[in-house]
Structure 1
Amino acid sequence: MSYTFLERKIARCFDLLDRNSDGDLSRDDCVALARAAADASGFAAESADARRVHDAYVRLWEVLLAPMDSDGDGRISLKEYVTAVTGLSADRDGYADRDGRLSRPEFLALYRATFPSLGQEEIADAFEHLDRNGDGHITRQELSQNIQEYLLSEDVNAPGNWFLGRVDV
């Protein structure tokens, strides 16, 4: 199969996620990623911290990756992954459920998986600040404004300061 440059980048990401190198993504790959992340963080195998990381990666599978399984076999082939991700990149407003915004559950799952050192309460607080209009979703425009504030604003009360969790003033 001949891939475009974008598809080759997406395929590279797939290869990095395919921890057991079996040519498919599965829940087992996410568990292996969690184990590696917990080990890299120095968490004991059966500790509460390791469990939290594990749970975050399982939610990553359930919320973000499993919906890419178009044939319902419990595994994501390279073709399914490339098709799903290129579909998202073609619709730049598409997030996990492709409605152009992050709902609270999508945000919580994404942040738990991406920033496992942040506690659930801190992530929930961040969502409340980043959802600028209080409608229960973070739009692409809100996300952009929050990132800009986080990186550029000196205003200690700017909602975007919560982009990576609580910042002590």
Structure 2
Amino acid sequence: MTGVQDLKYRQWFNGADVDGDGVISRDDVRLMGERYIAARDAASESETARRLTDGLEAFWANVIAPMDQDGDGKVDLREMTEGFRRALADPALYPQQVGPVADCYFDMIDLDGDDRVDQAEFGEIFGLAGNVSPQDSTEVFEALDLDGSGGLNRAEFHQALTEFFYGDDPNAPAAHLFGRIAG
């Protein structure tokens, strides 16, 4: 784990602590899903919303909850950082650990269902629901659009999340996926 990864994980933590109380709980994970569903004006009973809710529940149960070292049902920044160091040590496990939730988010972001996320969709979900500034969102999107098509396909989206969770380059565009990191 590098200092850059710690900065990225802190940025992710700040977004995941939806209620701002300094810890991530099951309620935060639920609220995170509700925030994305609401930003998309998706019906809570839609297939995509159900997949997202189920994916986040699995993410809580399999990745976040095991980080709770003191058993209080909450994960603070230290527990989360140490947990990510343990749980996300092997990029080969991305398909099981992060991939399913990433696919759900991709489907939520891809409002028109064309299997690509355009700049407007990306900016809306990371800006409105993820609290990323419009300028940062635009810069990150343009850098992540590797083929210059004006949209992120599923592979580019997964590549960005892989770089975010496992990479250590502070200048990689994906380092700033959840907001500009300091450092």
From the superposition, tell whether residues 112 and 66 of structure 1 become closer, same or farther in structure 2 (CA, over 3 Å).
farther
1:51-76 CA distance string (max 9 Å, x none): 22222222221232222222233210
Within 1, Cα distance between the matches of 2:5 and 2:155?
Answer: 27
The 5-angstrom pairing of residues 89-100 of structure 1 reads 95=88, 98-100=89-91
Greater relative contact order, per chain length (Cα 8 Å cut-off, separation 6+):
2
| SS of residue matched to 2:93 | strand
1:71 aligns with 2:55: no
From the superposition, tell whether residues 106 and 83 of structure 1 become closer, same or farther in structure 2 (CA, over 3 Å).
closer
Q: What residue in structure 2 maps to residue 101 of structure 1?
A: 92
Give the CA deviation at 1:13: 2.4
Q: What residue in structure 2 maps to residue 121 of structure 1?
A: none
Larger Rg over CA atoms:
1
Q: Is the 8 A contact 1:30 1:57 kept in 2?
A: yes
Q: Name the aligned partner's letter for residue 69 of structure 1.
A: D
From the superposition, tell whether residues 29 and 105 of structure 1 become closer, same or farther in structure 2 (CA, over 3 Å).
same
- Provide the TM-score with structure 1 as the length reference: 0.52
- Provide the TM-score with structure 2 as the length reference: 0.49
Give the CA deviation at 1:36: 0.9
Percent identity over the alignment is 29
From the superposition, tell whether residues 30 and 113 of structure 1 become closer, same or farther in structure 2 (CA, over 3 Å).
farther
4+ residue runs over 6 A deviation? none
Within 1, Cα distance between the matches of 2:62 and 2:47?
Answer: 22
From the superposition, tell whether residues 67 and 116 of structure 1 become closer, same or farther in structure 2 (CA, over 3 Å).
farther
Return the structure number with greater helix share.
2
The 5-angstrom pairing of residues 29-68 of structure 1 reads 29-68=28-67
Q: What residue in structure 1 maps to residue 20 of structure 2?
A: 21
Give the CA deviation at 1:8: 4.7
Give the CA deviation at 1:29: 0.7
RMSD: 3.3
Range with bigger deviation, 21-30 or 72-81? 72-81
Q: Is the 8 A contact 2:59 2:97 kept in 1?
A: no
Q: Is the 8 A contact 1:59 1:109 kept in 2?
A: no
Q: How many residues align?
A: 115
Within 1, Cα distance between the matches of 2:78 and 2:98?
Answer: 26
From the superposition, tell whether residues 113 and 66 of structure 1 become closer, same or farther in structure 2 (CA, over 3 Å).
farther
Structure 2 residues not aligned, in runs of 5+: 111-144, 148-152, 158-183
Q: What residue in structure 1 maps to residue 83 of structure 2?
A: 84
Q: What residue in structure 1 maps to residue 120 of structure 2?
A: none
From the superposition, tell whether residues 109 and 67 of structure 1 become closer, same or farther in structure 2 (CA, over 3 Å).
farther
Q: Is the 8 A contact 2:67 2:83 kept in 1?
A: yes
